[in-house]
Amino acid sequence: MRRRQLILGLGGASGALAFTLGLGWLQSRGRAQPPAALLPLPIGEMGFALTNHRGEPVRPADWIGRPTMAFFGFTWCPDVCPTTLSDISGWLDELGPDADRLNTVFITVDPERDTQQVLADYLANFDPRITGLTGPLAEVERAVAGFRARFEKVPRDGDYTMDHTAGVFLFRADGRFASIIDYHEDRRFALPKIRRVLT
């Protein structure tokens, strides 16, 4: 338990360091941009090694060549995550065969509970084109840092829950960041955004 806290602490510290470095980089580029404009890295510049729910290793370079739609969550989440997975499944339905060209990924921020098998059982309820990713916490943190996303483990009633970035990230086939579908954004804007990265 103590070791886990230590690891979490280190993760948090490195996350904070990455954020500070990112902020420094941003400030050196000019004061016009607010910190909120910290954009996800191009996929080609990300570094992480995760495992998908089928047990295959996944590295960011594997995604280059196809547009990518990705979001963070955890399977113990009762509201946001099933809703987002349900939305995504609906979008994939509407896109039809075009959606076969997308990398659609769900990255857990709770690898402690979300093992490969847990992800596989959970994703069986949604569109089969959604790939779940898990791995060591440090690798999840590297992925989150690359997306400029955030997550936090929050103790709750003797258990815990996860706060996490809720938007859906879209990247072009060459790996450049395209846009985010915000959680509370009007869902009518989602399909045009996805179609834009598919063209």
Partner 1 sequence: MKSLILSALLTLSAAPVLACETFTLGDLNIEHAWSRATIGADRPGVFYVEITNNGSTDDALIGIATPAAGMPMLHETVVTDGIASMPHAMSIPVPAGQTVELAPGGYHGMLMGLTTTLAEGDSFPVTLSFQNAGEVVVNVEVLSLRAEGPDCDDAN
| CB closer to partner 1 out of 31 and 184 | 184
- Closest contact distance (angstroms) between CB of 159 and partner 1 is 7
For 60, the token pair is: 């960011």
| CB closer to partner 1 out of 166 and 173 | 166
| CB closer to partner 1 out of 98 and 185 | 185
70 is in an annotated binding site: no
Query: Cβ of 154: how many Cβ atoms within 10 Å?
Result: 10
- Closest contact distance (angstroms) between CB of 121 and partner 1 is 6
Going edge to edge, which strands form the sheet with 177-181?
57-58, 50-52, 130-134, 103-108, 68-73, 168-171, 177-181
Residues in touch with partner 1 (CB under 8 A): 36, 75-76, 78-80, 82-83, 85-87, 89, 121-122, 125-126, 150, 154, 157, 159, 161, 163-167, 180, 182-184
R_g of the chain computed on alpha carbons: 17
- Closest contact distance (angstroms) between CB of 49 and partner 1 is 25
- Closest contact distance (angstroms) between CB of 198 and partner 1 is 23
Cβ-contact 131, 104 below 8 angstroms: yes
| CB closer to partner 1 out of 147 and 173 | 147
171 is in an annotated binding site: no
Residue with tokens 């990518």: 68
125 is in an annotated binding site: no
**N- to C-terminal Cα separation, the chain:** 48
| CB closer to partner 1 out of 85 and 143 | 85
Cβ-contact 89, 95 below 8 angstroms: no
**CA dist., res. 109 & res. 8, Å (int):** 12
Nearest by Cα to 137 from 157, 110, 155, 119 = 110
- Closest contact distance (angstroms) between CB of 64 and partner 1 is 25
Could you tell me which residues are annotated as the binding site? 77, 81, 164
Annotated binding site for Cu cation: 77, 81, 164
